[in-house]
């Protein structure tokens, strides 16, 4: 497809492959599969942090505010560093930074397994966040390079690996780490070692196909007429949409197990299984969202994903255990499907800055989730965990601002 894309779907921000050697087209599927698996490993490790909150809360006598600050330490590190990493690598590609990021995650994991006080836990969480900050912008760029023009599908395929990892993490915590204690976290470091190996191989492919200085040379035909002020406004709208999605998602990933334990008297392992079901629905929703984004366009997908979740989030605080499981699956499917559309829309608004845009939006996702978790932790301490879900149920109403987005992103044409 790299040789047959039409002028209505230009490749914005991707670094073209050289004419010699292995072509990007023939290598796209293996690279996308490898990236997806590495994203699975990366986010599996990340998801251990909230999955271990019940253990850490009991072991170190933490309150909900301190639990929220752990999330903040992890996600704010990723949030602040990702745009910086993306901006730098747009001009100076760093193929082997992917493996370096996984190395930081490995160190954070090992430190978390031997942490003896709250301060060390925060440092370990920050190191894992640093690994994410390095991984996501460059991995997103490589996914776009290997997309063959199907940017939404490629981003969704890359993202779904992370979603599956986030779903599996709570299960590993429930059945491996929690029964054996904090030291068992060290066993998960094997996943980081596998990731470092695969990302080194991906870095080799990346180094063969990247050409410094070409990342910003192509301009989107759909967005080149927009003024800087207009682009800034539209990016702000996308960030507000991401705010509504990620703060609500953070309420589930950080506090859902506590909610289930308090409201329905579930044991920890049963609550972790419910969290796994929610995370699995996010994985499926992301994959479906990417495919639908390329078919129906960015704006319709964003509207369906975020605003469409509102009736279900409003019903969740009043549901029994069975319907809580059903509703969280539907919410996960809908909300997760928005991210590929938001990211691809942003890529086309700021062409040639794939690293910066990916860093901003992945970083914003982490940062908003971290800030939301910290604030919600304080609210939960003051008003109870059930109140959090009543308060957050109105967040998807912010999806109304998606009507302000122009619909210049039509469905991708088929070559």
Domain ranges of the chain: 24-404
Check residue 222 and give its pLDDT.
Answer: 55
Check residue 408 and give its pLDDT.
Answer: 63
Q: Is 271 helix (H, G, I), strand (E, B) or coil?
A: helix
Tokens of 414: 């088929």
Flag residues of the chain having pLDDT under 50: 1-27, 212-221, 411-415
Between CA 354 and CA 343 the distance in angstroms is 10
- Does the pTM exceed 0.85? no
Check residue 15 and give its pLDDT.
Answer: 33
Tokens of 18: 């050289």
Check residue 164 and give its pLDDT.
Answer: 81
Check residue 211 and give its pLDDT.
Answer: 54
Between CA 347 and CA 8 the distance in angstroms is 15
Between CA 257 and CA 245 the distance in angstroms is 19
Check residue 118 and give its pLDDT.
Answer: 92
CA-only gyration radius of the chain, Å: 20
Q: Nearest-CA neighbor of 353 among 219, 232, 205, 206?
A: 219
- Total residues found in the chain within this entry: 415
Q: Is 1 helix (H, G, I), strand (E, B) or coil?
A: coil
Alpha helices per DSSP H over 297-410: 298-306, 310-315, 321-336, 338-349, 354-383, 385-392
Check residue 20 and give its pLDDT.
Answer: 37
Check residue 3 and give its pLDDT.
Answer: 39
Between CA 299 and CA 73 the distance in angstroms is 33
What is the fold, at CATH topology level, of the domain defined by 24-404?
Growth Hormone; Chain: A; (1.20.1250)
Q: Which residues, at least 6 apart from 382, have a Cβ–Cβ distance to it below 8 Å?
A: none
């Amino acid at each position: 497809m790299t040789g047959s894309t039409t002028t209505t779907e230009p490749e914005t921000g991707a670094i073209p492959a050289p004419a010699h050697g292995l072509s990007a087209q023939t290598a796209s599927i293996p690279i996308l599969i490898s990236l997806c698996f590495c994203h699975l490993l990366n986010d599996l490790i990340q998801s251990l942090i909230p999955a271990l909150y019940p253990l850490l809360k009991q072991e170190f006598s933490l309150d909900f505010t301190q639990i929220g600050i752990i999330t903040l330490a992890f996600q704010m590190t990723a949030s602040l560093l990702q745009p910086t990493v993306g901006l730098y690598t747009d001009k100076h590609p760093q193929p082997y930074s992917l493996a370096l990021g996984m190395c930081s995650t490995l160190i954070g994991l090992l430190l978390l397994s031997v942490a003896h006080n709250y301060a060390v836990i925060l440092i370990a969480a920050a190191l894992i966040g640093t690994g994410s900050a390095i991984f996501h912008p460059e991995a997103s760029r490589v996914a776009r390079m290997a997309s063959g023009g199907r940017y939404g599908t490629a981003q969704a395929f890359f993202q779904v690996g992370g979603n599956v990892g986030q779903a599996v993490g709570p299960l590993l915590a429930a059945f491996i780490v929690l029964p054996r204690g904090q030291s068992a976290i060290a066993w998960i470091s094997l996943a980081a070692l596998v990731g470092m190996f695969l990302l080194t191989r991906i870095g080799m492919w990346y180094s063969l196909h990247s050409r410094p200085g070409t990342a910003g040379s192509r301009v989107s035909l759909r967005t080149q007429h927009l003024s800087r002020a207009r682009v800034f406004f539209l990016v702000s709208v996308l960030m507000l949409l991401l705010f509504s999605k990620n703060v609500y998602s953070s309420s589930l990933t950080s506090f859902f197990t506590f909610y289930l334990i308090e409201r329905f008297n579930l044991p920890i392992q049963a609550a972790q299984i419910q969290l796994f079901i929610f995370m699995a629905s996010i994985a499926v929703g992301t994959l479906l969202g990417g495919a639908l984004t390329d078919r129906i366009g960015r704006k319709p997908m964003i509207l369906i994903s975020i605003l469409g979740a509102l009736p279900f989030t409003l019903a969740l605080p009043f549901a029994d255990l069975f319907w809580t499981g059903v509703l969280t699956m539907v919410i996960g499917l809908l909300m997760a499907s928005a991210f590929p559309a938001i990211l691809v829309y942003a890529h086309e608004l700021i062409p040639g800055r794939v690293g910066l845009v990916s860093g901003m939006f992945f970083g914003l996702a982490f940062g908003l989730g971290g800030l939301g978790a910290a604030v919600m932790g304080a609210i939960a301490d003051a008003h109870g965990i059930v109140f959090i879900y009543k308060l957050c149920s109105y967040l998807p109403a912010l999806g109304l601002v998606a009507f302000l987005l122009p619909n210049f992103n039509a469905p991708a044409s088929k070559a």
